[in-house]
Amino acid sequence: MFIKYGGTLRDGTVVTGITPGDILTLTTSTATYRTKKLIITAGPWTPKLIKPLGIHVPLKVGKTVFLLSHSSSKQDNFYYQFS
């Protein structure tokens, strides 16, 4: 859905810097991008990545296993989270 609505995915790109402002400047190992909005999916590395922005996000790293089943019958669909 992210890409369907105009998002751009840069999977496997190393972020080397983020400069705050009305327009964020994101520097990577391959290019520099400027944007008004940024979605960070860096998992446990997020706090280190956004520290230069002066933002503190109290993330706690843990292990969770998800089990998802989908079938054409709604009765057979389920979602379960093991923590």
Mean pLDDT of the residues in the chain: 77
The β-bridge relationship of strands 24-28 and 32-35 is antiparallel
For residue 83, pLDDT over 70 is answered with: no
Rounded percentage of the chain residues whose pLDDT exceeds 90: 8
Where along the chain do its domains lie? 15-82
Structure tokens at 62: 């843990």
**The pTM is what?**
0.54
pLDDT category, 67, cuts 50, 70, 90?
A: low
Q: Which residue in the block uniquely carries the two structure tokens 């590395």?
A: 45
The closest alpha carbon to 38, from 57, 61, 21, 54, belongs to 21
Condensed to tens digits (0 to 9), the pLDDT of residues 24-37 reads: 898 988 899 998 98
